[in-house]
């Protein structure tokens, strides 16, 4: 079987990427603009021996996915802003208990019910800090339909390898537009698998190198006995109120992500080597931004484009390096400056940051970004 070409919607590509990665269980609740993912999982998973459950709400959805993951299944849910808010407590539980799962959040206008069919990118900070307490998280942001496939597949690989929840931070435009996608030969897929212990003897579900190690994960129901609690716990999983145990656990959870940040780092860059004004963006906002940058280049202006595919952990080193020649950095995003805060933190000593936020439910037009580019020069 060779590569195939398909006309595909972003939500469809997310579903196909998940199935290619070995998705076995989906639980969700319909919500615009992610519903097509649930619909396609309902149709396709039973054909492959997988399970689809429509739950009563988003809290039940992510709880069901956690349960499925604990028995060894690759699990995913999909939602949008209000549902993502409801999932936060369980995301915190999965983070502390190191339970791999994938959450696709197709962003829409908010807060609250907002404008359900309109695009936005207002969940950047919620993806990182939505659940309380210090926790490690990975969030990936597709910028086209093919990347919906690629980054969903990658999300499973990272979730399984590092025992973490991974968020695919899409938006309404990326998820609903259709593009030609070259689908790789399924025989070339390297299916991501979690590392499992060989024997129940002496098994410690949270026993790992304290310097960012990832514990082996045994499935429930296979003879391995372990405790899975949202309380701080020792290596056996037993609850503990000791300061030393909590400190060691939280530092290990943070280090297993921080130490491997370069593996997660992913971006698209164009004309960044000599740019005097850089544009840093993500998702659908970056489409208009790239058009504006190419127009500026044709007119002799040294503009550059950096589109982030990894949002969390934020790619500090890459942003700092690639914007080194820029005197100004423009950040177009469909919110009031969430990504810009991180860009400003990274480049504040070497370049000024221009926040270009849009919150009217409409996609950026290239002329809007181009006008900001011209002014920056």
CA quadruple 42, 37, 89, 137: dihedral sign: positive
Q: Name the pairing type of β-strands 277-281 and 303-308.
A: parallel
**Mean pLDDT on 158-179:** 97
Residue carrying structure tokens 């002496």: 202
CB 116 within 8 A of CB 106: no
> Looking at the domain covering 4-188, what would its CATH class be?
alpha beta
238/261 Cα distance (integer angstroms): 30
Q: Rounded mean pLDDT of 208-233?
A: 94
Average pLDDT in the 291-319 region? 97
Q: Do domains 4-188 and 267-376 have the same CATH topology?
A: yes
* CA separation for the pair 300, 333 (Å, rounded): 25
Instruction: Tell me how far apart the alpha carbons of residues 15 and 28 are, in angstroms, rounded to a whole number.
Output: 13
- Read off the pLDDT band of 1 (50, 70, 90): low
Task: Give the count of beta carbons closer than 10 Å to the beta carbon of residue 18.
Answer: 30
Q: Using the structure block, give the residue that is written with the tokens 């956690």.
A: 66
Contact 343, 353 (CB under 8 A): yes
Least confident of 46-50, 65-69, 83-87, 184-188: 184-188
Q: What is the pLDDT of the chain when averaged over all its residues?
A: 96
Residue 70 has pLDDT above 90, yes or no: yes
Domain boundaries, the chain: 4-188, 267-376
Q: Work out the average pLDDT over 81-89.
A: 98
- Predicted confidence at residue 183, as pLDDT, reads 86
Contact predicate 359/282, CB 8 Å: no
List of E strands, the chain: 4-9, 25-28, 51-54, 75-79, 101-109, 115-119, 138-140, 165-171, 178-183, 267-270, 277-281, 303-308, 310-312, 328-333, 352-357
Give the pLDDT of residue 114: 95
Rounded to whole angstroms, what are the CA distances from 106 to 33, 60, 79, 103, 130? 6, 19, 6, 10, 16
Question: Residue 3 has what pLDDT?
Answer: 80
pLDDT at 333 over 80: yes
At the topology level of CATH, where does 267-376 sit? Rossmann fold (3.40.50)
């Amino acid at each position: 079987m060779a590569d195939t070409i398909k006309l595909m919607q972003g939500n469809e590509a997310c579903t196909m990427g998940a199935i290619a990665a070995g998705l076995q269980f989906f639980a969700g609740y319909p919500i615009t603009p992610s519903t097509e993912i649930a619909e396609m999982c309902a149709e396709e998973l039973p054909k492959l021996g997988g399970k689809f459950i429509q739950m009563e709400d988003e809290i039940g959805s992510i709880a069901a996915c956690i349960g499925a993951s604990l028995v060894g299944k690759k699990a995913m849910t999909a939602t949008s802003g209000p549902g993502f808010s409801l999932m936060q407590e369980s995301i915190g539980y999965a983070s502390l208990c190191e339970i791999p799962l994938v959450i696709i959040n197709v962003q829409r206008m908010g807060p609250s019910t907002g404008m359900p069919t309109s695009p936005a990118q207002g969940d950047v900070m919620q993806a990182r800090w939505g659940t309380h307490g210090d926790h490690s998280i990975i969030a990936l942001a597709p910028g086209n339909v093919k990347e919906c496939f690629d980054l969903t597949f990658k999300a499973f690989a990272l979730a399984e390898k590092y025992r973490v929840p991974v968020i695919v931070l899409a938006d309404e435009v990326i998820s609903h537009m259709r593009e030609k996608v070259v689908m790789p030969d399924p025989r070339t897929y390297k299916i991501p698998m979690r590392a499992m212990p060989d024997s129940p003897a002496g098994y410690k579900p949270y026993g790992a190198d304290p310097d960012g190690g990832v514990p082996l994960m045994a499935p429930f129901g296979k003879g391995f006995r372990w405790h899975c609690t949202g309380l701080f716990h020792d290596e056996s999983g037993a609850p503990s109120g000791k300061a030393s145990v909590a400190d060691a656990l939280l530092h290990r959870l943070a280090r297993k992500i921080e130490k491997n940040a370069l593996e997660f780092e992913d971006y698209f860059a164009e004309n960044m080597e000599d740019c005097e004004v850089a544009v840093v963006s993500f998702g659908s906002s970056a489409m208009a931004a790239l058009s504006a940058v190419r127009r500026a280049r044709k007119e002799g202006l040294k503009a550059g484009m950096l589109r982030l595919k990894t949002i969390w952990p934020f790619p500090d080193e890459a942003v700092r390096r690639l914007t080194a020649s820029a005197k100004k950095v423009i950040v177009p995003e469909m919110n009031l400056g969430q990504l810009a805060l991180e860009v400003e933190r990274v480049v504040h000593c070497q370049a000024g940051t221009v926040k270009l936020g849009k919150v009217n439910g409409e996609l950026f037009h290239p002329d809007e970004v181009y006008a900001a580019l011209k002014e920056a020069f």
